[in-house]
Every structure is written in C-alpha cells, then in structure tokens.
Amino acid sequence: MDKFALLVRMNPEYWPEWEREIGPGRESKVWFTTDPRRPEEIHAGLPAVVLGTNRKGVLATGETVSAAELRPDPDWAKATDPEDQAWLKEPRNRVCIRLKGLSTPVPVEEVEANPDTGRLPKIARQTITWLKSHEHSALMALVQKHNG
C-alpha cells in the first residue's frame, strides 16, 4: 500500500480546544493517538492533513515531528473533564504533529467532489488514516487553491 501521508480526523465534540490549538493561521505541536496504525510505520517527517468532522473540511496541514511513541499525552492537564484527563494520562501510541491552521479551510464539499479524495470524509473514521500519494497531492491542491 502507498502510505505517503497521514490524514488526521479531528472531532470538535471530543476536542473543543481545537480552534485554540490549530485555528486559522495558528501553529502548534499536538499529540494524536495512532491506534490502530502500526507504530513502527509512523516516523518523523510524514506530511499530515487535518480533516474536521461535522463537515468542517480541511482545517490544517503539517508534518510529524516524532515517531509513534507509547506515552501519555503531555497536554493531559489542559483537559477539563476528569474522564478525559484519565484517558489522556494513559500510555498509548501517539505521534506529535506540527500543524498550521489554514486561513481558509477547504470546504468538505470540495473534498467530496474531487475524484481522488471524495471517499475520505466517508471512510476515514479513525483518528489517523493513511493517505496515498495521489490523495495527499489532491488535498494539497485544494489547500493551495483556497490559501494561495
């Protein structure tokens, strides 16, 4: 399989702080769980694209700055819900991704209309999904179209 880049699914219901971390024009490093991906396949330097659920579209791009590591989320204390804090404190396979929020998100309708990416909003349900090289190229062309 052509495992070129990572598609990160971001659910605002489970991560309401996303706008503070990767809102338009913002840069940050965020840890994401990688399960069920094989940790040995995830390394620093992989391109990444964030696709928001609830029809938010493409919200950010970036690249991994670590390999997958079995570790707690270092930002667990930012969570306000004790259950979320407990989950984040548990060691899980995680990868750190440096992200920059897009000034103009790519509408999900354009992702769906593109023959190379149309299936992604429907099939990519886990936090991390592999993108093939042609899918990544098509998403980046849409990003370029909206963000110059």
| Cα distance between residue 132 and residue 1, in whole Å | 8
Give pLDDT, residue 36. 85
Predicted confidence (pLDDT) at residue 99 exceeds the cutoff of 90: yes
Per-residue model confidence as pLDDT tens digits over 16-59: 677 778 888 999 999 999 988 899 999 999 999 999 888 889 99
Pairing mode of beta strands 69-71, 57-64: unpaired
Q: Are 17 and 78 in contact (CB under 8 A)?
A: yes
Predicted confidence (pLDDT) at residue 78 exceeds the cutoff of 80: yes
Apex CA 32: angle with CA 123 and CA 10, to 5°?
45
Give pLDDT, residue 124. 61
Q: Where are the alpha helices (DSSP H) in 43-114?
A: 82-89, 108-113
Tokens of 40: 């040995």
The mean pLDDT of the chain is 91
Predicted confidence (pLDDT) at residue 133 exceeds the cutoff of 80: yes
- Whole-structure pTM value: 0.91
Give pLDDT, residue 15. 66
Q: For 42-45, which contacts have Cβ atoms below 8 Å and span 24 or more sequence positions? A: 42/6, 42/67, 42/68, 42/95, 42/128, 43/67, 43/68
Predicted confidence (pLDDT) at residue 104 exceeds the cutoff of 80: yes
Mean pLDDT of all residues in 115-120? 94
Give pLDDT, residue 127. 85
